[in-house]
Structure 1
Amino acid sequence: MEQIETLEQLMQLYRQPSNRAGNKTIYRIDEYVQRLIEHSPFIVISTVDEDGFTDVSPRGGVPGFVKVVDSNTLLIPDSSGNNRLDSFKNILERPQVGMMIMVPGIDEVVRIKGTASLHTDEQRLALCPDGNKPAKLVIQVKAESMFFHCAKAIMRAKLWDGEYRVERSILPSLGQILKQQQNLEEAAMSQEDMVAYYNKTL
Structure 2
Amino acid sequence: MTPEQLRSLYGAPSPAAAAKVITTLDHHCRAFIENSTFLVMATSNGQTLDVSPKGDPAGFVTVESDTTLLIPDRPGNNRIDGLMNILANPQVALIFLIPTVGETLRVNGRAEILDDPAICAQFQVNGRSPKTVTRVTAEKVLTHCGKAPIRAGLWKPENWPDERPVATLSDMIRDHAAGEAEVVDDATMQANYQKTLY
Could you tell me how far 1:178 is from its partner in structure 2?
Answer: 1.6
Q: Would you identify which runs of 4 or more consecutive aligned residues in structure 1 move more than 6 Å?
A: none
Q: Alpha-carbon deviations, 1:116-152, whole Å to 9, x = none?
A: 0011112321333356521111001111110000111
Q: Secondary structure at the match of 2:159?
A: coil
Alpha-carbon distance in 1 for matches of 2:156, 2:99: 9
Which residue of 154, 158, 161 corresponds with 1:163? 158
Q: 1:76-155 alignment to 2 at 5 Å?
A: 76-129=71-124, 132-155=127-150
Closer, same or farther: CA 167–71 of 1 in aligned 2, 3 Å? same
Q: Alpha-carbon deviations, 1:27-79, whole Å to 9, x = none?
A: 100001000100111000010035x2221100011111000111011000010
Name the counterpart of 1:59. Answer: 54
Closer, same or farther: CA 160–128 of 1 in aligned 2, 3 Å? same
> More displaced, 14-23 or 117-126?
117-126
Name the counterpart of 1:180. Answer: 175
Closer, same or farther: CA 85–191 of 1 in aligned 2, 3 Å? same
Could you tell me how far 1:115 is from its partner in structure 2?
Answer: 0.5
Q: Secondary structure at the match of 1:63?
A: coil
Could you tell me how far 1:179 is from its partner in structure 2?
Answer: 1.4
Alpha-carbon distance in 2 for matches of 1:85, 1:186: 19
How many pairs were matched up?
197
* Structural RMSD (CA): 1.8
Query: Do structure 1's residue 201 and structure 2's residue 196 form an aligned pair?
Result: yes
Alpha-carbon distance in 2 for matches of 1:106, 1:40: 10
Q: TM-score, with normalisation over the residues of structure 2?
A: 0.92
* Paired letter, 1:100: I
Give % identity: 37
Closer, same or farther: CA 131–91 of 1 in aligned 2, 3 Å? farther
* Paired letter, 2:10: Y
Name the counterpart of 2:14. Answer: 18
Q: TM-score, with normalisation over the residues of structure 1?
A: 0.90
Alpha-carbon distance in 2 for matches of 1:131, 1:30: 31
Which residue of 24, 29, 51 corresponds with 1:28? 24
Alpha-carbon distance in 1 for matches of 2:125, 2:19: 36
Alpha-carbon distance in 2 for matches of 1:165, 1:132: 35
Gaps of 5+ in 2: none
Note if contact 1:108-1:149 (Cα within 8 Å) is conserved in structure 2.
yes
Name the counterpart of 2:44. Answer: 48
Alpha-carbon distance in 1 for matches of 2:138, 2:92: 9
Alpha-carbon distance in 1 for matches of 2:181, 2:113: 36
Alpha-carbon distance in 1 for matches of 2:114, 2:193: 26
Alpha-carbon distance in 2 for matches of 1:150, 1:170: 28
